[in-house]
């Protein structure tokens, strides 16, 4: 029973972290969160695919709180979501970042490299990693960053920067395969936990 609860608590904490990272207030306790899912009857169908279910805010506004959340499919939630709007502060930040960059002149937010430029960047990266000195330098940098971050509490501003850096990022096929396998394993554990709870 403890294993079942731990598995569900992991899913709850993950959703709460995602909400905090997006700057959304999360007021649901674990018991409240679980009660909403169990009442919907879709807890064993929770997931990331369009036909699987998620917890969404009404009108995509306000906090995750009792009375302001519904359980719906990811497809429905995505269709109802308002288009992203860049803030003026974000636009100014991107303008400063592109200032003096001859390759960034005239580029709009959301710019994507051409297939040719992506291939060139990829080849340059592969060539750099073949250099032993470069690999040694990167490993040293990773070790220093790891030591620096031990016991470090990530601030909301840092989370926002990390989130912005991942916008438009595409995972490799192998990474997506690993992520899917991990997600399927967690879903199987939740389904098994629910079936045991129903039997008891």
32 close to 15: Cβ distance less than 8 angstroms: no
So what's the pLDDT on residue 168?
Answer: 65
The answer to the question of residue 137 being in a domain is: no
The pLDDT score that the predictor gives to residue 32 is: 93
pLDDT at 132: 86
> What is residue 154's predicted lDDT score, i.e. its pLDDT?
66
Does any domain span residue 113?
Answer: no
Cα–Cα distance measured from residue 18 to residue 14, given in angstroms and rounded to the nearest whole number: 6
pLDDT digits (tens, 9 = 90+) for 50-84: 889 999 998 888 899 999 999 999 888 888 776 66
**4-28 pLDDT, tens per residue?**
677 888 889 989 998 888 889 999 9
Specify if 159 maps to a domain: no
Residue 111: per-residue pLDDT: 59
Considering the entire predicted model, what is its pTM?
A: 0.43
Alpha carbon distance, N-terminus to C-terminus of the chain: 10
What are the tokens at 22? 């997006």
Which residues span the domain enclosing 46?
2-83+173-199
Q: Is residue 75 within 8 Å of 51, Cβ to Cβ? A: yes
Torsion of CA 90, 96, 99, 104, to 10 degrees: -20
DSSP H helical segments within the chain, as ranges?
2-21, 30-40, 74-80, 88-98, 115-129, 132-149, 156-165, 173-199
Q: Is residue 73 part of a domain?
A: yes
Low-confidence residues of the chain, pLDDT below 50? none
Domain assignment present for 186: yes
Contact 190, 43 (CB under 8 A): yes
pLDDT at 54: 92
Q: How many domains does the chain have?
A: 1
Establish if 24 belongs to a structural domain.
Answer: yes
Tell me, yes or no, whether 62 lies in a domain: yes
Rounded to 10 deg, the angle between the 173-199 and 2-21 helix axes is 130
What single-letter DSSP state applies at residue 88? H
d(Cα 55, Cα 67) in Å, to the nearest integer?
Answer: 12
Q: Distance between CA 39 and CA 71 in Å, rounded?
A: 10
């Amino acid at each position: 029973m403890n294993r079942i609860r731990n598995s569900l608590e992991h899913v709850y904490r993950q959703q709460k972290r995602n909400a905090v990272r997006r700057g959304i207030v999360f007021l649901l306790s674990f018991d409240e969160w679980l009660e909403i899912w169990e009442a919907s009857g879709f807890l064993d169908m929770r997931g990331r695919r369009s036909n699987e279910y998620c917890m969404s805010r009404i009108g995509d506004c306000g906090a995750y709180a009792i009375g302001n959340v519904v359980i719906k499919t990811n497809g429905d939630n995505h269709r109802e979501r308002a288009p992203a709007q860049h803030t003026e502060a974000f636009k100014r930040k991107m303008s400063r970042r592109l200032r003096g960059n001859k390759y960034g002149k005239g580029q709009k937010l959301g710019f994507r490299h051409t297939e040719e430029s992506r291939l060139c960047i990829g080849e340059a990266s592969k060539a750099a990693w073949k250099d032993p000195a470069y690999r040694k330098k990167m490993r040293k940098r990773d070790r220093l960053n790891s030591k620096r971050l031990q016991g470090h509490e990530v601030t909301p501003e840092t989370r926002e920067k990390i989130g912005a850096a991942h916008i438009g990022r595409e995972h490799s096929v192998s990474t997506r395969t690993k992520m899917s396998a991990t997600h399927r394993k967690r879903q199987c554990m939740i389904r098994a936990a629910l079936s045991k709870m129903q039997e008891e």
